[in-house]
Structure 1
Amino acid sequence: MPACNAFGIDRSNGSGMISLERVDPCVHGLLALLIDPRQAGSVGLADWDKIIRLARQSRLLGVLSYRIQSHPELLPQLPECVLGHLRSAAAYSAHRIQILRIELAALAKALPAEIPVVVLKGAAYIVQNLEITCGRLPSDVDLMVAYSDLKRAEAALLDAGWSGEVIDAYDQRYYREWSHELPPMRRPGHSVELDLHHTITPVTARLKPDTALLFADLQVVEGERFLVLHPQDQILHAAVHLFQDSELFANLRDLVDIDGLIRTHLHSESDWQALAVRAARHHLERPLWYALRYCRAWLATAVPDALPLAAPPAAAIRWMDWLFPRCTLPRIPDRQPPFSRRIAAQLGLLRYQWLRMPPALLLRHLAHKGLHSLRPRPAVPNKAE
């Protein structure tokens, strides 16, 4: 009988890999390089062609570049064309991170100093100068303020030149009554989108973390205007964002983030025990369980066998093991995706909606969107050439 750990991963062959049916072998190659970039010297040119495309599709080429270039002894073993892609990805990542830092500086000036403002997710990792930011491609800034400060923060941003996305009255109500954030905002001429939150999951979601606990344990970052979540809350936020507040599609980078946060913040058995206790206080045990399962299986994250986290029902695990790889792992887009992947993408979308809203509200939402899609759209006049 196979030897399985507490997360149901077969360890009898030493690989720790959950079965990935019909996945391109180069997906395994990408995961292997993310785990141990020292294997780069043994990759053939044909495989590099696929691995680079898969990494770029996953928004992980810059991350892969940083990890490989952290081992200078590997570079003479790599083809020059591969090095060109890696160096280009690193340069573009540095450019995107600098743009985000400029946007954060502008936001720090725009928001009233007396309002505590939390920076979330990728921008938070950048503010903290965590190693996992190396190679990232940030495209937005996620900020969070207390609900009581939301209107004042929005007004300050509008006065400073940010403007909300133009949406209809129904979507305005959706964001402001049922979501956990305001409609996305931008400044004219700027490429970075701003999302202003008042908690980390939708108000109507099935899982609701303890917002008071989130705000009670905020962390100061030396020299920064912005606060960040407690390290354990950063891990839990990343887990709930992936496994509840996303469609699961093409989100391998989010799993890599969780792995990186774990390696950054958890160093002892007591740290792991505290994370499990924190997950229980926030009622986020299930998304954390899934995050640890796939991090350990795909990224060799050193997750302890004995953690006080209750496993989901066996049927739910089998369902997720079928759905998550098909939705999340990248594929070479030279051919039409297999039928199972197309079905998985639709099921991932349905799951996302189901977890965000109770049944009555979900039916109302789907009915509104369905009717809206049937309305005739105004014709776009042809422009003279």
Structure 2
Amino acid sequence: MSDHRAAANPFHLLQLLREPGRVRDLQLSDWDALIRLARRARLLGVLAHRIQSRAEHLAVVPDCVRGHLDSAIVYSAYRVHLLRMELAALDRVLPADVRVAVLKGGAYILQDLATARGRLPNDVDLLVGRDDLRRSEAALLAAGWEAQAVDDYADRYYREWSHELPPLRFPEHPMEVDLHHTISPVTGRLRPDRALLFAGLQEVAGQRFLVLHPLDQILHAVIHLFQDSELVDNLRDLVDIDSLLRTHLQSTEDWLALATRAGRHGVERPLWYALHYCHRWLATPVPDGLPLSPPPIAMMRLMDWLYPRCTLPRLPDRPPTIGRRVAVRLGLARYQWLRMPPGLLLRHLGHKSVQAVRWRPAAQRGAD
């Protein structure tokens, strides 16, 4: 892989993530592109951990590259420490009788899963029951957390149509807190079974906070990527799903249980996409014959064109191609379409358009 243009191909980053032993084939010029791609995808810490887990892999890494890997691991440890500090502060102020689950990265860290190795957590995602939402928010506000400033429309959007409240942050704390009452927008096309979700919550030894059932952790990551995101620069989420699948599913029965639970939540289509791209890009050992129906051929071809162009990282000093710019816009349109029914979507887009018209003259006056 000595051709610099080949090293800049993001599929080579995927290859290295799934086969860290390939470091022996890399030249110094290859590392230049791969490190920048991994950093842009927020995967440099993950890659560093996978390389450093085997002494024979690390032995062939040039010293100047090791510095980047060591730095990524140290920075990940720092971010994890900040997350643990934020959880400790939240534990002190949230009502003791409220069942609170930690979602996504925070949950992986609390459980010490392989998925947590090298992560860069940005926020703390908490889940409480709908009946406990107001009381939990009030407790945080009374203790000094402050809601992100949003206008009346955005506040209503969060509280009536979303699955979370406006973000909260304690002054000078680096971590934002997102308080959820379910794992997918309540106006979305797919609505996971909230009762099943809360019935499956599990304890973590030595922790006040709960976590989702292992199968729900996988499905939440799947929903977050393929149902509730714009697909842009989200390669890390697919790497998370691959790691969760390898961690939680050890037998054919486990895989069938995942497919069955996806059916109960009504999220078979996002799961199909996740397994498709995990197997294709990361060689996830997905068994044949799972009871998941593939999407229509036209939709599969569209996603196979759209998803790589949106999700795979590119070198920051190279402008996006026309294909990527088109794909990003389509990814945004898909996200909005899945998130809201047509009537609400038209209303939402109308409001955003009016806002844009109102703000543009002010911005132009500022420029003058």
Same fold (TM over 0.5): yes
Partner of 1:140: 123
Any idea what the Cα deviations from partners look like across 1:241-285, whole Å, max 9, x if unmatched? 000100000000000000000011000000001000000000000
Give the deviation of 1:333 after TM superposition.
2.4
1:226-265 aligned at under 5 Å gives the runs: 226-265=209-248
Partner of 2:208: 225
Contact kept? 1:117, 1:145, Cα under 8 Å: yes
TM-score by length of 2: 0.96
Greater helix share, structure number: 2
Tell me whether 1:112 sits opposite 2:95 in the alignment: yes
Q: Secondary structure at the match of 1:375?
A: helix
Q: Quick one: which of 280, 283, 306 aligns to 1:297?
A: 280
Distance in structure 1 (CA, Å) of the matches to 2:78 and 2:41: 18
Distance in structure 2 (CA, Å) of the matches to 1:62 and 1:152: 37
Give the deviation of 1:28 after TM superposition.
2.0
Contact kept? 1:245, 1:352, Cα under 8 Å: yes
Letter in 1 for 2:325: R
Tell me whether 1:150 sits opposite 2:150 in the alignment: no
Any idea what the Cα deviations from partners look like across 1:88-142, whole Å, max 9, x if unmatched? 0000000000010000011111101100001100001011111211100001010
Distance 1:177 1:300, change over 3 A: same
Contact kept? 1:26, 1:47, Cα under 8 Å: no
Runs of 4 or more, structure 1, over 2 Å off, are 22-26, 376-382
Distance in structure 2 (CA, Å) of the matches to 1:29 and 1:44: 13
Partner of 2:250: 267
Letter in 2 for 1:215: F
Q: Secondary structure at the match of 1:209?
A: coil
Q: Quick one: which of 10, 16, 27 aligns to 2:10?
A: 27
Cα RMSD, aligned residues only? 1.6
Q: Runs of 5+ in structure 1 lacking a partner?
A: 1-21
Letter in 2 for 1:276: A
Distance in structure 2 (CA, Å) of the matches to 1:271 and 1:23: 38
Q: Quick one: which of 192, 202, 205 aligns to 2:188?
A: 205
Distance in structure 2 (CA, Å) of the matches to 1:224 and 1:36: 34
Q: Secondary structure at the match of 1:196?
A: strand
Letter in 1 for 2:354: L
Distance in structure 2 (CA, Å) of the matches to 1:186 and 1:358: 31
Partner of 1:323: 306
Give the deviation of 1:24 after TM superposition.
6.6
Partner of 1:40: 23
Q: Quick one: which of 49, 65, 74 aligns to 1:66?
A: 49
Distance in structure 2 (CA, Å) of the matches to 1:174 and 1:205: 13
1:369-380 aligned at under 5 Å gives the runs: 369-376=352-359
Distance in structure 2 (CA, Å) of the matches to 1:213 and 1:155: 26
Distance in structure 2 (CA, Å) of the matches to 1:188 and 1:340: 41
Distance in structure 1 (CA, Å) of the matches to 2:8 and 2:97: 53
Q: Quick one: which of 13, 27, 37 aligns to 1:54?
A: 37
Q: Runs of 5+ in structure 2 lacking a partner?
A: none
TM-score by length of 1: 0.92
Distance in structure 2 (CA, Å) of the matches to 1:66 and 1:316: 36
